[in-house]
Amino acid sequence: MKNMVLITSLGLAIAAGGAVASNGKMGGKHHRPHHSFEELDANGDGKLMQEELATHMQARFEGADADGDGALSQDELLARVTERMTRRAEKYVAHMIERHDADNDGALSMAELKSRNKGDMFARMDADEDGVVTREEFEARRSGHKSHRHGGHGHKHDNREQAD
């Protein structure tokens, strides 16, 4: 029984690492599975059985257990989470370059980044359109609240603007 609790807890820790990697943040509300149905459906019958999920979880656990001692240390969990976050960051960076690299030199210049924005981010933050952004407007935009611009029909928060 004690081993089952330990295995379940460690499995949840691995899953949490996957959540961090898929969301890029801890505690994200919109966890997306990072395994396809086909990956989980080991026997290919179009149905997921509890045994298939348990087998998949065991394989993930063993993949994270670098020293093979049957337990996941903090270092092993950190390595697993870091690996997943790195893969996600690499995909994001490649997408940014693909999207913004106008001269196709494989790098982003300030001019290329500015040409995309054109002051739109400032305009989105300046909810009352007075030409200045107050702390309240900044925080409202940062937290994803709709602005009061144009009669309360503000734009929803776009996570890309923080990173772009």
Model pLDDT, residue 98: 92
Whole-prediction pTM value? 0.50
Instruction: Indicate the burial class of 64 (C-beta count within 10 angstroms; 0-12, 13-18, 19 or more).
Output: buried
Model pLDDT, residue 147: 42
Can you tell me the distance from the alpha carbon of 40 to that of 28, in angstroms, rounded to the nearest whole number?
Answer: 23
Under 8 Å between Cβ of 112 and 96: no
| Per-residue pLDDT tens digits for 24-74 | 444 444 445 578 899 999 999 999 999 999 999 999 999 999 999 999 999
**pLDDT tier at 80, thresholds 50, 70, 90:** very high
SS (H, E, C) 21-38: HHHCCCCCCCCCCCCCHH
Q: Which two tokens stand for residue 4?
A: 């089952």
